[in-house]
Structure 1
Amino acid sequence: MAGTLALAACNGADAPEPQASVAEVPQVADIEAALNDSAAGWNEGDMTRFLAVYSGDPRTAFVGGEEVIHGRGAIETRYRDRYDWSGPDPSGRGVLSFVTEDFRPLGQDHALYVGRYVLEYPQGKPPATGFTSLVFERENGKWQIISDHSS
């Protein structure tokens, strides 16, 4: 009997799936809520709301394509130059959403979020999608992006 129990305990197929820690659950939920609010800003053509998830620290970094830029102002310029912000109609810039792929708390006030961004366009234009890895820092009770690497 003991041999059967030992063999069953070693069988990886019956091992339970890893569970999120108690501390991780509120962090990921709060960060997903912050990203959903940012996406709502994008979808409504509200640049201020879209960018509110980024830290105001001048060292906040965005890595995309072949560039690294720092500061919310430079990040705003990048998005203004690449997408149509002339009004609330998202047809020119797409409807933004995020899909969480991985999440890792990095202590109480930092976390790594890995996800997929999706921009869906009307009239049959194929969606644009890619991966993003975001480092968040809790600032004054709010989760803010301090590093964004999107491809």
Structure 2
Amino acid sequence: MKRNKLYFLLGLGLACATSCSPKQGSRASANARQEVHQVLEEQAQCWSRGDLECYMQGYWKSDSLLFIGSRGLTYGWQPTLNNYKRGYPNTAAMGKLSFDLKETRALSPETMLVVGKWHLQRDAAQGDLEGHFSVIFKRFSEGWKIIADHSS
């Protein structure tokens, strides 16, 4: 049942991303946008320090968290953290993370879609990496958390 709810929410977000007018997307309060962007900034700082547990604080700590990456779907906060630890076993592999946010849209008063580019600056031996992402944030009592992440 949890997966069905996430598929519905992800589908709703993607439908809005492709059909909502720019005015609808711009109705999000400046404060909510700033809070969501702050979560991403804090994640970039945590990652760049080599602290994956800190980085993961931006994600919903739930078995229903959805991460979509090059290896397919991952459900759950802990499996997502485990995948990051396998893929980025040390600070050299992690590098310095930065985001270039392209669009932030309110999907509802409690959910936001953020689309952007990520970039990992790493030493020459490792080589830089970059790609695109879309994340859906939901507002919880403890703040905004990513409930779905599609990174490529």
Same-fold status (TM-score > 0.5): yes
Q: Name the aligned partner's letter for residue 132 of structure 2.
A: F
**Aligned partners of 1:74, 1:124: CA distance in 2, in Å?**
28
* Structure 2, gaps ≥5 residues long: 1-21
Structure number with greater Rg is 1
Shift of 1:84: 2.3
Report the alpha carbon displacement of residue 82 of structure 1 after superposing the two structures with TM: 0.5
Match of 2:146 in 1: 145
**Aligned mates of 1:124, 1:24 — CA distance in 2:** 43
Equivalent position amino acid for 2:95 in 1: G
Following superposition, the deviation at residue 103 of structure 1 comes to 1.1
Corresponding residue of 1:35: 40
Question: Which of 57, 61, 80 is the matching residue for 1:52?
Answer: 57
Deviation per residue, 1:84-111 (Å, 9 max, x gap)? 23xxxx3331100111011110111100
So what's the TM-score if we normalise by structure 2?
A: 0.78
**Structure 1 residue 72 corresponds to structure 2 residue 80:** no
- Alignment of 1:98 with 2:99, yes or no, is yes
Shift of 1:124: 7.4
CA contact (8 A) 2:44 2:97 kept: yes
State, as a whole percentage, how many aligned pairs show the same letter: 27
The structure richer in helix per residue is 2
TM-score (norm 1): 0.78
How far off its partner does 1:28 sit?
1.9
SS of the equivalent of 2:116 reads strand
Query: Distance between the aligned counterparts of 2:29 and 2:68, measured in 1?
Result: 26
Aligned equivalents of 1:97 and 1:32: distance in 2? 12
Distance 1:48 1:65 in 2: 21
Contact 1:112 1:134 in 2 (8 A): yes
Give the Cα separation in 2 of the matches to 1:141 and 1:83.
Answer: 28
Cα distance in 2 for partners of 1:80, 1:50 equals: 11
Contact residue 24 and residue 104 of structure 1 kept, 8 A: no
RMSD over equivalenced CA pairs, Å: 1.9
Distance 1:116 1:64 in 2: 14
Where structure 1 has 5 or more consecutive residues not aligned to the other structure, the ranges are: 1-17
| Contact 2:88–2:94 under 8 Å retained in 1 | yes
